[in-house]
Structure 1
Amino acid sequence: MKKLIAGISVFFIFFSFNTVKGYAKIDQETSLIEKSLSLVQDGDYVHGANLLEQLESKYMASAKKNKDFTPKDLETISVTFQNALVSLSNDGIDPQEKVADVLGLRLLIDAGETTMQPMWKEMKKSVMTPLQNMESAYKRGNSEAYETQLNQFLHQFEIIYPSLIMDLPYDEVKKINSLVSFLDDYRINQESIPAFQQKLDETKSELLFIFDQGNSIIPPVSIWTIFTTGIIIVGTLSYVGWRKYIGDRNKNKKRREHND
C-alpha cells in the first residue's frame, strides 16, 4: 500500500510540475504579446515589432510541434504574425489599424492556448453593437449611417476572424464569412436586394450563436485535476494513517490483555 501511495504521489507531482511548466511557457508568450500591444498603443512601432519578431520565432517553433494544431491553424498563425509585422512597418497605415492587427494576434494566441472562455468572446459587444446600429440605419433608410456602422463592424470582425478560424469548425467559419462578405459586397445597392433584411438577421443570429456557445464557468481541466487529485491523495494518506493507528491500538490492547 505504501508503494502504491508513493507511486500515485510521484505521478501527480510530476503531472503538476509539467502543467506548471506549460503555464510558464504560456505566460512568457502572453507577456511578450501584451508588451508589444502596449508599445503599439503608445505609438512605439519599432520596439513593438521587435518583440513580435522574438515571439514569432519562439511561438512558431513551438506551434509546429503541437499536435493539436492543424496545417490550417499553423497557416493562420503565420499569416496573422506577418500581417501584424507588415502593418507596423508601414508608415501609411492608420495607427488604429496597427493596434487592431496586433490585438488580433493577441486574441489568436489566446485562442490557441486556452481551453475555456477565449478572449475573443469578450469582443462580443464591440462586434454586435455596430451590427445592430447597421440594422437600425437600414430600417431608417439612412445610407450614410449604415455605411459608417458597416465599416466599424467589418473592422471589429477582422480582429476576431483569425481566432474564429482557430476555434470554430470549418463549416461555421465558412458560413459566417459568407454572410459578412455579402454585407460588404452589397453595401451600395442594398435597397435592391429583397432578402437584405434576412441577411442582416442571419448574420446577427450566427454571430450571437458563436459568441454564446460553449460558455462555461467550470475551472480548466488541469487545475481541477490537480485540485481533486490532491484531495484524493490527502484523503488516502489520512485513511492509511487512521488504519495504522487502529491496528497499533488493537495490538497494544491484545498485548495488555495477554500480560494481564
Structure 2
Amino acid sequence: MKAKWFIILAIIMMLTPISVQAKQQSPMEKLDDISDEALQMVKFHRYEDAKKLLDYFSDQFTSITGNEQPLTMDEVRIVHTSHDEAMEAAVSPNMKYEERINKLTKFRLVIDAIATSHQPLWTEMEDQIMTAFHQAKDAALNGDSAHFHSSFNSFLSLYNVIYPSMKIDVPVENIQRLDARINFIDEYRSQVVKDQKSRQELDALDTDLKNLFANLEEDEADPSLWWVIISTGSIIIMTLSYVGWRKYQGEKGLKKDRSRDLKD
C-alpha cells in the first residue's frame, strides 16, 4: 500500500514543474506569437489587422528593449529592419501578394530565431532552398542559360527570406563565406554557365549550404526536454529501487518467520 502512494506522489512531483513551466512565457515568446498572427492576417488579405498587430508589436518590443535590453545591438537592428519591411507589406496599396507574404515570413523567422534556442523555423525552408539551387546547378551543367537564370533567381528570393534570421543563428564567418560565393555566382552568371572552372563555385556553394543546415540540425535538444528525460528517469529508478527494497524486506521477513517455525 505504501509503495502505491509513493508512486503516486512521485508522478505528481514529476508533472507539477512541467505544468508550471508550460504556463510561463517569456516576453520574446509573446512577441513571437504576435509576429505569427501578423503573418496569418496577411495570408488572409487582412492587411489592416496585420498593421494593428505590427503596431502593437512595436510598442511591446520597445518596452522590452527599454527595460531589460535582452538583445544585442545587431539583433535589435535586424528586428527593426524586418519589422519595417513587414509594415511596408501591410500598408502598401500596390505590393504583390507573394511579396507581402515573403516580407512577413522574413519578419516571422527573425523573431522566432531570437525567441527559440533550438531548431529555428528558418531551417524548415531547407528543402525549398536546396531544390531551387539544385535546379539552377543542373541547368548550368546542361548549358541551359535561361533555366539557370530563373532557378537561381528563385533560389535568391528564398535565401533572402531566411537571410536575416540566419545572421542571428549562424557564425559571421560562415555568413561571409556564403555571401562571397553567392555574390560571385550572381555577378558572373554567364561565365558560370559557360566555364567549367567557374562552375566549381556551384559545387562549393552546394557544400556550404548543406553544412549550413546540417550544423543547425546538430544543435543540442531543448534543455527543458533534457530536464524531463532526466527527471522521469530518476523517478522511475527511485520507484523501482523502493519497490525492490520493499520486496527484499518482505522476503527477508518471511525467511525469519520460517526459521522460527523450524526451530519451534
TM-score, normalised by the number of residues in structure 2 = 0.75
- Report the CA distance between 1:173 and its aligned residue: 0.9
Q: 2:77 aligns with which of 75, 78, 83?
A: 75
C-alpha contact (below 8 Å) 1:117/1:216 kept by paired residues: no
Between 52-61 and 110-119, the greater mean CA deviation after superposition: 52-61
Q: Is it true that 1:173 corresponds to 2:175 in the alignment? A: yes
Structure 2: gaps of 5 or more residues: 1-13, 254-264
Q: Partner letter of residue 139 of structure 1? A: L
Partner Cα distance (2:48, 2:60) in 1: 19
Residue 37 (structure 1) aligns with: 39
Percent identity over the alignment is 20
Q: 1:140 aligns with which of 142, 159, 162?
A: 142
- 1:180–1:63: structure 2 CA closer, same or farther, 3 Å change rule? farther
Q: Partner letter of residue 97 of structure 1? A: E
Partner Cα distance (1:202, 1:31) in 2: 37
Partner Cα distance (1:193, 1:226) in 2: 55
- 1:61–1:20: structure 2 CA closer, same or farther, 3 Å change rule? farther
Q: CA RMSD in A?
A: 3.8
Residue 111 (structure 1) aligns with: 113
Q: 2:58 aligns with which of 56, 59, 63?
A: 56
C-alpha contact (below 8 Å) 1:116/1:216 kept by paired residues: no
Partner Cα distance (2:61, 2:197) in 1: 44
Q: Is it true that 1:92 corresponds to 2:115 in the alignment? A: no
Partner Cα distance (1:26, 1:233) in 2: 33
- 1:27–1:115: structure 2 CA closer, same or farther, 3 Å change rule? closer
Q: 2:213 aligns with which of 179, 204, 211?
A: 211
Partner Cα distance (1:137, 1:241) in 2: 67
C-alpha contact (below 8 Å) 1:39/1:48 kept by paired residues: yes
C-alpha contact (below 8 Å) 1:37/1:102 kept by paired residues: yes
Partner Cα distance (2:41, 2:209) in 1: 31
Partner Cα distance (1:137, 1:237) in 2: 62
- Report the CA distance between 1:102 and its aligned residue: 0.7
Q: Partner letter of residue 149 of structure 2? A: E
- 1:14–1:149: structure 2 CA closer, same or farther, 3 Å change rule? same
SS in 2 for 1:212: helix
Residue 182 (structure 1) aligns with: 184
C-alpha contact (below 8 Å) 2:27/2:64 kept by paired residues: no
Residue 129 (structure 1) aligns with: 131
Q: Partner letter of residue 195 of structure 1? A: K
C-alpha contact (below 8 Å) 1:60/1:78 kept by paired residues: no
Partner Cα distance (2:189, 2:179) in 1: 15
Residue 221 (structure 1) aligns with: 223
Q: 1:161 aligns with which of 150, 157, 163?
A: 163
- Report the CA distance between 1:17 and its aligned residue: 7.7
Q: Partner letter of residue 173 of structure 1? A: I
- 1:77–1:27: structure 2 CA closer, same or farther, 3 Å change rule? closer
Aligned residues: 245
Q: Partner letter of residue 178 of structure 1? A: A
